[in-house]
Amino acid sequence: MVLRLALLGMGAVGRGIIQAALEKDLGLIITAVADSRSGCIDPNGLNLPELLDRKDKTGMCGDTGISAETIVKTAPYDILVEMTPTDARSGEPATSYIRDALQRGSHVVTSNKGPVALHYHELASLAKKNHLQFRFEATVAGAIPILQTLIHNLGGNEILSLYGVLNGTCNYILTRMAEEGLTYKQALDEARTLGYAEADPTYDVKGIDAAIKLVILANTVWKKNICLDDVDVTGIDLLTEEALRLAEQQDATIRLIGEIIPGDNIYRLCPRIIPKDHPLVVQGSLNAIIVRTDLAGDLLFVGKGAGSRETASAVIGDILSIRDIHAGGN
Ligand code: HSE
């Protein structure tokens, strides 16, 4: 059975999905795509090379008369793949798109952190009530399958704590400043060019992006009901080049570390000085997470936390899980 996808968002992640669909036989067709200004629909499957070419040449993927909302409500699709930029405070317009798709009887996969951080419990219940899947692996730690692993594979454990590097952009900036002597601004510009940063990069450097990931982890893995204001957040935007130099002199470096200790309701994110041989001192856009559990002991996860192909990997994993459930597999 060929699954039909409608894609919302044609930034780094949306392009990553389209490229992967061109490179691999995934058993999928893309019947609709919207960007912030336009959209296109073809029930038989869009011509993807033409779509990419049009976007490169005109900055738009289709006609201005076709909006994301039109696609959500009228296009033919089995899975809505929602990849528009995160709004941490309202979660809109993405949350409305997701609700509408679930009410229409379609599964939803999203890489958008806003709706999951703000409305996970409501959206998960709506999906369950309608016998649909709502998946969001790409919202935390990019290519690392951390959510499925914690929720399902480690489901028999009590997960006692989690701490680690959860923002690829900040990790890239800190690495480039310490190792190549780049200024903060030069390193941030590079991270933006490489497609690691959020549409609004202040989300990355002020720690909002990593803090949202802590909220998503807390609410989905531990079934808490916390919001962004419950996280104690310090970003790297005020960190000086001098602070990094001082850390280097002690054979240490600085990393932006997020931490959850669910038993004590501790949720915090701040830059920390860490010895260079510590497992959380990873380079570039990598993320690294240490999870402490009662049965499995300590586990360390390392992988690319940002980037077009890496995030697409997580989104495609969710899509293929839904396909397998459809097919009655596992
Ligand atoms: N801007 C995010 C990061 C993207 O740098 O980690 C992945 O969530």
Lookup: tokens for 214: 């802590």
Question: How far is it, in rounded angstroms, from Cα 165 to Cα 286?
Answer: 8
Q: Which residues pair with 8 in a beta bridge?
A: 34, 82
For the CA of 204, the closest atom of ligand 1 is 1
Q: Is 196 in the pocket of ligand 1 (CB under 6 A)?
A: yes
Q: Which residues pair with 100 in a beta bridge?
A: none
Q: Provide the percentage of residues in the chain whose pLDDT is more than 70.
A: 99
Burial 216-248 (b: 16+ CB within 10 A, else e): bbbbbbbebebebeebebbbbeebeeeebeebe
Domains of the chain as residue ranges with CATH: 3-142+309-327 (3.40.50.720), 155-305 (3.30.360.10)
The Cα 127–Cα 110 span in angstroms is: 13
Ligand 1 within 6 A of CB of 114: no
The token pair that represents 45 in the structure block? 């499957």
Mean pLDDT of 193-199: 94
Query: Which residue's alpha carbon is nearest to atom 7 within ligand 1?
Result: 306
Q: What is the pLDDT of residue 251?
A: 96
**pLDDT value of position 175:** 97
The answer to whether residue 286 scores a pLDDT higher than 60 is yes
**Ligand 1 centroid, distance to 275 Cα (angstroms):** 24
Residue 65 backbone phi and psi in degrees, to 5:
-75, -10
- Confidence check: pLDDT of 329 > 60: no
Q: Say if ligand 1 is within 6 A of residue 198 CB.
A: yes
CA distance 30 to 22: 11
Q: Do residues 302 and 145 touch, judged by C-beta distance below 8 A?
A: no
| 310 Cβ inside 6 Å of ligand 1 | no
Q: CA nearest 2: which of 326, 316, 242, 288? A: 326
Residue of 140, 209, 237, 269 to mutate, ligand 1, most atoms within 8 A of C-beta: 209
- Give the integer Cα–Cα distance in Å for 159 and 6: 35
User: What are 18-77's pLDDT values in tens digits?
Assistant: 999 999 999 999 999 999 999 999 999 999 999 999 999 999 999 999 999 999 999 999
Predicted pLDDT of residue 327: 75
CA distance 57 to 80: 26
Element (H, E) at 42: none
Q: Which residues pair with 33 in a beta bridge?
A: 7, 40
Using a 6 Å cutoff on CB, does residue 137 contact ligand 1?
no
Instruction: Give me the active site residues, please.
Output: 213
The answer, yes or no, to whether any atom of ligand 1 lies below 6 A from the CB of 178, is no
Record the tokens describing residue 148, joined without a space.
């499925």
pTM of the model: 0.96
∠244-245-249 over CA atoms, to 5°? 115
Residue 282, pLDDT above cutoff 60: yes
The answer, yes or no, to whether residue 326 has pLDDT greater than 90, is no
* CA of residue 183 to ligand 1 center, whole Å: 20
d(CA 240, CA 271): 11
Which pLDDT tens digit goes with each residue over 229-277? 999 999 999 999 999 999 999 999 999 999 999 999 999 999 999 999 9
Q: Judge whether residue 103 has pLDDT over 60.
A: yes
Instruction: Give residue 208's pLDDT.
Output: 97
CA of 109 to the centre of ligand 1 (A): 17
